[in-house]
Amino acid sequence: SNLMAGHANSRLFQLLRDQLGLVYFVNSHLQMTPTHSMLAFVCSVKPRHDIILKVIREIELNLVHLTSHKISSKELEAIKTFSILQYKMSCESSHFQTLQNLLSYYFFSQLFTVQDLALQYKTITTQDIQQEAQRMFTRENFHVAMVM
């Protein structure tokens, strides 16, 4: 999720906002359960059909590209650092931490600390990212829903 969108250095933020000027904002959210997962993108865009279609096409092209090209080690390390810091900051919210604890206990029968997360992130490789992209980002798994 943080690789593609969510912060100013993410791939889609740089492409869709900085390079192409198609969106004002782009973010992504990954939701996972034991049986399925969903990666959702949220974009703030002018309500013009041609712009919306370009944004959707660029998102799809970037997801497909991720299935056939490994990310760089430098980009992976930056994502790991950003994700851990983001999690640490969000843990300062007691409501967020309560929700995280409930979800991790429900799905994994254990609670995860920031240190647990950091240890798990250290083991992720660029090959892992590409393999997961190949599993998730197939044409039959790509669905679009728009809310205006």
Q: Average model confidence (pLDDT) for the chain?
A: 79
- Ordered alpha helix ranges (H), 1-148: 11-12, 49-68, 73-91, 94-108, 114-122, 126-136
The answer to whether the CB of 137 falls within 8 A of the CB of 61 is no
Q: pLDDT band at residue 30, thresholds of 50, 70 and 90?
A: confident
**Do 22 and 45 touch, CB atoms closer than 8 A?**
yes
pLDDT at 16: 94
Q: What is the mean pLDDT of residues 7-29?
A: 89
pLDDT in tens, 74-109: 888 888 887 777 777 666 666 666 666 666 665 666
Q: Are 39 and 30 in contact (CB under 8 A)?
A: yes
Residues 52-58: what's their mean pLDDT?
A: 93
Report d(CA 141, CA 110) in Å as an integer: 30
**What is this structure's pTM?**
0.70
Q: Give yes or no for residue 124 having a pLDDT over 70.
A: yes
